[in-house]
Amino acid sequence: MNTIQIDPGLTEEQRRKQIYKGQIMVLSPTPGSLQLCAFARELLVQGFGGLDPQKAHETLPVEKYAEILAVVKPKFIHHPESKRLLRVIAAETGHDLANTYLDTPRLRSAAPHDYLRFGIAYAFHPHRDTWYSAPFAQVNWWMPVYEFESGNSMAFHPRYWDKPVRNSSRNYNYQDWNEGPRQNAAAHIKSDTREQPKPEEEVEMEPQLRIVCPVGGIILFSGAQLHSTVPNATGTTRFSIDFRSVNIEDVRSGRGAHNIDSQCSGTAMVDYMRGLDMTPMPDELIIKHLAPGYKEKTLGTQEKIKAT
Ligand SMILES: [Fe+2]
* pLDDT tens sequence for the chain (308 residues): 678 999 999 999 999 999 999 999 999 999 999 999 999 999 999 999 989 999 999 899 989 999 999 999 999 999 999 999 999 999 999 999 999 999 999 999 998 877 666 665 566 789 999 999 999 999 999 999 999 999 999 999 999 999 999 999 999 988 888 876 555 555 555 555 567 899 999 999 999 999 999 999 999 999 999 999 998 989 999 999 999 999 999 999 999 999 999 999 989 998 899 999 999 999 888 888 887 777 655 444 444 443 34
CA distance 110 to 187: 17
Query: Ligand 1 centroid to 117 CA: how many Å?
Result: 15
- Phi, psi of 276, rounded to the nearest 5 degrees: -65, -45
Provide the pairing of β-strand 4-6 with 24-27: parallel
Query: Ligand 1 centroid to 134 CA: how many Å?
Result: 10
Please count the CA atoms within 13 angstroms of the CA of 160 that sit on its side-chain side.
Answer: 29
Query: Ligand 1 centroid to 49 CA: how many Å?
Result: 30
Query: Ligand 1 centroid to 128 CA: how many Å?
Result: 6
Query: Ligand 1 centroid to 61 CA: how many Å?
Result: 28
Q: Which residues make beta-bridge pairs with 155? A: 210, 228
* Burial readout 250-272 (b: 16 or more C-beta within 10 A, e: otherwise): bbeeeebbeeebbebbbbbbbbb
Query: Ligand 1 centroid to 50 CA: how many Å?
Result: 30
Nearest to 304 by CA among 179, 186, 208: 179
CA distance 280 to 275: 10
- Report yes or no on whether pTM surpasses 0.75: yes
Query: Ligand 1 centroid to 122 CA: how many Å?
Result: 11
What are the C-alpha distances in Å from 235 to residues 45, 53, 56, 221, 291?
Answer: 18, 12, 11, 28, 44
Query: Ligand 1 centroid to 172 CA: how many Å?
Result: 15
pLDDT score at 233: 86
Query: Ligand 1 centroid to 108 CA: how many Å?
Result: 11
Query: Ligand 1 centroid to 81 CA: how many Å?
Result: 23
CATH topology classification for 4-304:
Jelly Rolls (2.60.120)
